[in-house]
A and B are shown apart, each in its own frame.
Chain A
Amino acid sequence: MTRSVFSRAFLILFLAGSLLPIYWMLNMSLKTNEEILGAMTMWPSNLTFDNYITIFTDEAWYSGYINSMIYVALNMVMAVLLALPAAYAFSRYSFLGDKHLFFWLLTNRMTPPAVFLLPFFQLYSTFGMMDTHIAVALAHLLFNVPLAVWILEGFMSGIPKEIDETAYIDGYTFPKFFVKIFLPLIKSGIGVTAFFCFMFSWVELLLARTLTSVQAKPIAATMTRTVSAAGMDWGVLAAAGVLTIVPGALVIWFVRHYIAKGFAMGRV
């Protein structure tokens, strides 16, 4: 069928195009700075792992990786758990100020985070929470919770209310209904929400760097440290880029079944 041949070709073209800069980044990570700035080569003429060695031998990198993963995981879990009941409320109930509240949530994503730097710094210093993982996880809730609520609400609204009512008639309590019936129906929404919370928290450098110093220093700080006296350390930066993709790729691999699972209503 020409239609599916066309769509296959289109998809492959897009994926290939998407991979090109990634391949380029990998390419750069295996070259020396001189070679990078010297000429355009599709593959390193002098393959070198020096950039990766620099990263792995630098203790700050290793702990930075771990630190980032800790606060990102904390944030992801908190954001989704907080958002689920709120999204359900927005989806099923109308209450005083609900439409305004819903929109207000999104407004928290309407300022460049730079605006929050100083106030956050003061806030967390006052509470003695500087340089902790939880501080960054909490700070990131600012933009992740509204996102989670909006996405989850969208998926929840796609489930007809009659399902809730049928479950109550069948004798389900609310918690049982929510966990056993409702959540499986919005699987793809949860998968995509979890991934986005992970992603936005993982790539956020400014707040993460400002709120931490040693104990909880994330990769963010070390990422921006790649300008040395000799100029920009292109190779190391590229290698760092390659390494930061890995956890995210793992996350999407783990939630792939959630995102791709259909609405299986056959056995209700």
Chain B
Amino acid sequence: MARIELAGIAHSYKPNPSQPSDYALRPMEMTWQDGGAYALLGPSGCGKTTLLNIISGLITPSQGKVLFDGRDVTKLPPEQRNIAQVFQFPVIYDTMTVGENLAFPLKNRGWKTADIERRVAQIAEILELSGELKHRASGLTADAKQKISLGRGLVRPDVAAVLFDEPLTVIDPHLKWLLRRKLKEIHHELKLSLIYVTHDQIEALTFADQVVVMTEGEVVQIGSAQALFEAPEHTFVGYFIGNPGMNLLPCSLRGDGVAINGTNIALPVPAGLSVGEGQLTLGIRPEYVECSPNQTENALPARALNARNMGTHWLIEAELGNHRIACKQRALHTVNMGDAVWMKLPAERTLYYLNDRRVA
């Protein structure tokens, strides 16, 4: 168990990085609390695996320091950091049995056989692998193999953190949730720090207490699932989280109203909005847009494009000036394609972003 701090960490795969785009991971500061369950969420190539590998020691960062409980481990190799890593596909030793696989790290540390057997039995019990200990590891299914991978990490009593790099990628969908539940159990029981990299927001939001959202090498927000949903600090977070993501409409200040580009409508300027240089964007989640066939106060006229029944709700897409706006709501007053509809954007749910960062 350890508190992990990243101080001034940045990483570039190029020898002489000069501009932000050369960095796989832009300069950042972060603290991971001891015993926390974190998810690193972001699309492919955003730098999450790089960040994970810096924490585990498989990569030495170009800049900055990694501290475990205040101790500088930046120069230490993985085996001396007491972390465990589970990869995208099962990494097991084919020629060994399940038991031998789990025992391997302990053998390398010179443990006594009796102690090894006890510890292996303990971990196998937690992972529900006790019956397979004598079987050859290569014959098992992918999810069992991932459990073995995880087991080899858990088997060391002093393991500080377990890092997961998209571990459910090759698992059958119906087994994924079983494994996720097992991970939560382990977190609860062993009180380990868990850091879980994924590009799947459902996985991230259900697994972690805190989600770290990344894009293009940068950490854009850290927060609980609720915080990310209700108050995204970055347009990327708004867009990436939620299904469908947030409606993002370019807008500008005109007089004392906010006008959505391409339309003549203006919304009241929110309190505290300071305008600077750059693109102003309005963001509102489809869940909060209210769509009605009748004109209502402060509602914006739009033209319906289609309405789909998604089972638990209706998804309505409408055209507002040059932009599309989506609306998710329970009930539907009959809407046909081409109908005029009125979209209400409740002020308390409407967020404003300047150059993609939240300002109001």
Interface residues of A (CB under 8 A from B): 160, 162-163, 165-166, 169, 265-268
- A268 and B173 contact, Cβ closer than 8 Å, known pairs A160-B89, A160-B142, A162-B89: no
The 4 A-B pairs of least Cβ separation, nearest first, read: A162-B170, A162-B142, A267-B44, A166-B170
A108–B57 Cα gap in the complex (Å)? 51
Contacts of A166 in B (CB 8 A): 169-170
Most chain B CB atoms below 10 A, which of A266, A267, A268: A266
What residue in chain B is nearest A169 (Cβ atoms)? B173
CB distance from A245 to the nearest CB of B (A): 36
- A265 and B88 contact, Cβ closer than 8 Å, known pairs A160-B142, A162-B142: yes
Contacts of A169 in B (CB 8 A): 173
Asked whether, in the complex, the Cβ of A266 is within 8 Å of the Cβ of B170, the reply is: no
| CB < 8 Å A-B pair total | 22
CB distance from B178 to the nearest CB of A (A): 16
A267–B90 Cα gap in the complex (Å)? 16
Asked whether, in the complex, the Cβ of B49 is within 8 Å of the Cβ of A266, the reply is: yes
- A268 and B169 contact, Cβ closer than 8 Å, known pairs A160-B89, A160-B142, A162-B142: yes
B45 at interface by CB-CB < 8 Å: yes
Contacts of B142 in A (CB 8 A): 160, 162
16 A-B contacts, Cβ less than 8 Å apart? A160-B89, A160-B142, A162-B89, A162-B142, A162-B171, A163-B89, A165-B170, A165-B172, A166-B169, A166-B170, A169-B173, A265-B88, A265-B89, A266-B49, A267-B44, A268-B169
A266–B52 Cα gap in the complex (Å)? 12
Contacts of B89 in A (CB 8 A): 160, 162-163, 265
A268–B44 Cα gap in the complex (Å)? 8
CB distance from B217 to the nearest CB of A (A): 15
- Tell me the B18-42 residues at the A interface (CB within 8 Å): none
What residue in chain B is nearest A267 (Cβ atoms)? B44
CB distance from B179 to the nearest CB of A (A): 14
CB distance from B144 to the nearest CB of A (A): 12
Interface string of B163-180 (1 = CB under 8 A from A): 000000111110000000
A216–B45 Cα gap in the complex (Å)? 52
A266–B44 Cα gap in the complex (Å)? 9
Contacts of B49 in A (CB 8 A): 266
A163–B169 Cα gap in the complex (Å)? 9
Contacts of A266 in B (CB 8 A): 49
A154–B142 Cα gap in the complex (Å)? 21
A160–B142 Cα gap in the complex (Å)? 9
Asked whether, in the complex, the Cβ of A267 is within 8 Å of the Cβ of B45, the reply is: yes
Interface string of B76-94 (1 = CB under 8 A from A): 0000000000001110000
Contacts of A162 in B (CB 8 A): 89, 142, 170-171
A163–B142 Cα gap in the complex (Å)? 11
CB distance from A52 to the nearest CB of B (A): 44
CB distance from A208 to the nearest CB of B (A): 43
A169–B173 Cα gap in the complex (Å)? 9
A166–B142 Cα gap in the complex (Å)? 12
Contacts of A267 in B (CB 8 A): 44-45
- Can you add 9 more A-B contacts, CB < 8 Å, to A165-B172, A166-B170? A160-B89, A160-B90, A160-B142, A162-B89, A162-B170, A162-B171, A163-B89, A165-B170, A268-B169
Contacts of B90 in A (CB 8 A): 160
CB distance from B83 to the nearest CB of A (A): 19
- A163 and B88 contact, Cβ closer than 8 Å, known pairs A266-B49, A267-B44, A267-B45: no
- Tell me the B144-203 residues at the A interface (CB within 8 Å): 169-173
Contacts of A160 in B (CB 8 A): 89-90, 142, 170
Contacts of B172 in A (CB 8 A): 165
A165–B172 Cα gap in the complex (Å)? 9
A99–B171 Cα gap in the complex (Å)? 29
A267–B44 Cα gap in the complex (Å)? 6
Contacts of A163 in B (CB 8 A): 89, 170
A267–B88 Cα gap in the complex (Å)? 10
A123–B171 Cα gap in the complex (Å)? 53
A118–B89 Cα gap in the complex (Å)? 53
A166–B49 Cα gap in the complex (Å)? 20
A162–B171 Cα gap in the complex (Å)? 8
Contacts of B45 in A (CB 8 A): 267
Contacts of A165 in B (CB 8 A): 170, 172
A169–B170 Cα gap in the complex (Å)? 11
A268–B198 Cα gap in the complex (Å)? 12
A169–B142 Cα gap in the complex (Å)? 16
Most chain B CB atoms below 10 A, which of A160, A162, A163, A169: A162
A191–B343 Cα gap in the complex (Å)? 59
A171–B276 Cα gap in the complex (Å)? 44
A268–B170 Cα gap in the complex (Å)? 10
What residue in chain A is nearest B53 (Cβ atoms)? A266
CB distance from A161 to the nearest CB of B (A): 9
CB distance from A104 to the nearest CB of B (A): 28
A165–B170 Cα gap in the complex (Å)? 8
Interface string of B279-317 (1 = CB under 8 A from A): 000000000000000000000000000000000000000
CB distance from A166 to the nearest CB of B (A): 6
A51–B92 Cα gap in the complex (Å)? 58
Contacts of B88 in A (CB 8 A): 265, 268
